[in-house]
Amino acid sequence: MIESQHIEYKQVWKDEYLKWICGFANAQGGTLFLGLDDNGDVCGLKNAKRLLEEIPNKILLTMGLMAAVDLRKQDDKEYVSVKVDAVDQPISFKGKYYYRSGATLQEMNGLALQNFLLRKLGRSWDAFVCEHATLEEIDRLAVDFFLKNAITAGRMQGDTLYDSTETVLRNLDLMTEDGALRNAAVLLFGKDPQRRFISSRFRIGRFGTRDSDLMFQDEVGGNLIQMADRVIWVLRSKYLRTPIHYEGLHRVEALEIPEDAMRELVYNAIVHRDYLGTDIQMKVYNDKIWLWNEGELPEGYNTEVLLGSHLSKPRNKLIASVFYKAGFIENWGRGIDKVKMAFKKENIALPTFECAFGGTLVTIPRSVEVENIVDLSGLQLTERQRKILEMISENKTVPIKRLAESLMVSIPTIKREVSLLQKEGIISRSNNNQYGYWILFDANDTPNDTPNDTPNDTPNDAAE
């Protein structure tokens, strides 16, 4: 047998190997073999019988553990096995905590230690009291938003809409018996959660073909219960294409990515992230979307388990409970399966999931036509002009009014910027009316190549 998360070989005994016993107990249990070399071959022990008495006593005195210490023989060579089971409570050795991960022993510190202690004690960080937080920090509109969704989902009674804020929080276990607010209460319903939890934001950035080509970015803050709505609105207005089609006489502008699936991915990132770490991050590239949240998967879980049938083990139990009651998520570990079904229904490439950078990374392919991508690397542009070109490159029929709304500036301002871009030969307009469309030119193209009907004219009102 080779060394693994459950097996360690040592040729002799040293008291420092009590760390390995501690690591096994804190992880999944394991056996320390004494008198074996690194390949698992028996080399024997001269003091095997004495160790049978010393080792159990040292383990008991230093860590309070009972271990199975046995004498073994092979070819007249004696060796000893020290087997320890996994323990529900956190175990320390000389005030330090060790953990067996793979074939290595790791000393836990900082955030890793805090998360380990919470997990072993069966508690989640969001259940801790938020010191000095009061009901004044809770936004009743956010509470009402939750209640309306929960009632619609059939997971709360209709009359709860008239309950006081305190009653609602107590019923959701977001307030202690003595009236203290838990971290989850402030995050879910706070007027300004980022004042206390600065990294509880959702960051979105638009990139070109590489990470150094950041075009524009947004930070979505506020309470968690409405964060997914705000994220989807920002994606719809600035980052993703919304191809237009008609269902009968009804105009539909659906996201290029199935919206239900995108919401599910955003919900998962919010519920399962580590709020002691950094922000949720979404990078939108020409050919893919990259969504990452900090936080390791539950113990015993990996991406293979995640993609198969599995139980839901939320990191933030109270936040997950509220999202479930609101009808946003299920509590059966079906989230990824729902995402995959939504993508298959639209016959588009499935996203991939992996453990990366201390968290979970989802990569969503984008189907972007090459001719819609503009190389901006060789152009000297303002940030606003870059945003305009990016939006036009993704929707060649986007009207002036939509550009102004998305960039939160006036229509005259957009017209002025568009006119400058036209004069530089960067963009053109084919037919300045409701049937017209934008033409974009690469940085290597010249203005003389521009088949523009009216190259120096600002688009008229028909293009709005």
| Tens of pLDDT, residues 257-292 | 899 999 999 999 999 999 988 999 999 998 899 999
Average pLDDT over residues 188-214: 91
- Determine the pLDDT at residue 446: 42
Using alpha carbons, list the distances in angstroms from residue 427 to 117, 237, 296, 459.
58, 21, 46, 12
Question: Percent of the chain scored above 90 by pLDDT?
Answer: 54
Is the pLDDT assigned to residue 448 strictly greater than 60?
no
Q: Write the pLDDT tens digit of every residue in 101-116.
A: 888 999 998 777 877 8
| In contact, 210 and 288? CB cutoff 8 Å | no
Is residue 67 pLDDT above 80, yes or no?
A: yes
412-444 b/e with 16+ CB inside 10 Å = b?
eebbebbebbbeebbbbbeebeeebebbbbeee
B/e letters for 238-260, b = 16+ CB within 10 Å, e = fewer, are bbbbbeeeeeeeeeeeebbbbbe
pLDDT at 454 over 50: no
Task: Give the helix/strand (H/E) hosting 99.
Answer: strand 97-101
Band (297; pLDDT cuts 50, 70, 90): confident
Residue 137: band (very low, low, confident or very high) from pLDDT cuts 50, 70, 90: very high
Q: Is the dihedral of CA 286, 291, 294, 298 positive or negative?
A: negative
Check residue 378 and give its pLDDT. Answer: 57
List every span in the chain annotated with CATH 3.30.565.60: 202-365
pLDDT digits (tens, 9 = 90+) for 21-54: 999 999 999 999 999 998 899 999 988 999 999 9
d(CA 307, CA 164): 41
At residue 15, the pLDDT reads 95
Query: Collapsing DSSP states into helix, strand and coil, what is residue 273?
Result: coil
Signed CA dihedral, 56, 122, 110, 298: sign only: positive
In 366-460, beta strands by DSSP E: 427-430, 437-440
Confidence of residue 442 (pLDDT cuts 50, 70, 90): low
Give 114 or 3, the one with higher predicted confidence.
3
Q: What is the mean pLDDT of residues 225-239?
A: 92
The residue that leads in pLDDT, 412 or 449, is 412
**pLDDT digits 0-9 by tens, 241-257:** 776 655 565 655 677 88
In CATH, the architecture of 371-463 is Orthogonal Bundle (1.10)
Give the range among 138-152, 200-214, 238-252, 311-325 with minimum mean pLDDT.
238-252
Query: Range with the lowest mean pLDDT among 108-112, 231-235, 342-346, 351-355?
Result: 108-112
pLDDT class of 213 with cuts at 50, 70, 90? confident
Mean pLDDT of 400-419: 89
* The pLDDT value given to residue 135: 96
The boundaries of every CATH 1.10.10.10 domain in the chain are: 371-463
Looking at residue 324, what is its pLDDT?
A: 95
Is the pLDDT score of 374 beyond 80? no
User: Which carries the bigger pLDDT value, residue 82 or residue 253?
Assistant: 82
Question: In the predicted model, what is the mean pLDDT of residues 307-326?
Answer: 86
pLDDT for 462 beyond 60: no
pLDDT at position 432, please?
64
366 pLDDT exceeds 60? yes
Tokens 């001269």 correspond to what residue?
46
Q: Is the pTM of this model over 0.85?
A: no
Instruction: Say which residue, 200 or 114, is predicted with more confidence.
Output: 200
Which range of 150-154, 437-441, 455-459 scores highest in mean pLDDT? It is 150-154
pLDDT attached to residue 208: 78
Q: Do 365 and 351 meet the contact criterion of CB atoms below 8 Å apart?
A: yes
The share of the chain scoring above pLDDT 70, in percent, equals: 86
pLDDT number for residue 228: 96
| pLDDT reported for residue 174 | 97
Is 233 or 433 the better-scoring residue by pLDDT?
Answer: 233
Listed in order, the ranges of the chain carrying CATH 3.30.950.30 are 7-123
CATH fold for the domain made of 7-123: 3.30.950
Residue type at position 447: P
Is pLDDT above 60 for 460?
no
Q: Can you give the pLDDT at residue 289?
A: 94
* Cα distance between residue 114 and residue 125, in whole Å: 9
- How confident is the model at residue 439, as a pLDDT? 79
pLDDT tops 80 at residue 225? yes
Sheet with 202-207: list strands edge to edge: 214-220, 202-207, 280-284, 288-294, 359-365, 352-356
* Mean pLDDT estimate for the chain: 85
Per-residue pLDDT at 106: 93
The class level of CATH for 202-365 reads alpha beta
Of the ranges 37-51, 92-106, 193-207, 396-410, which one carries the lowest mean pLDDT score?
396-410
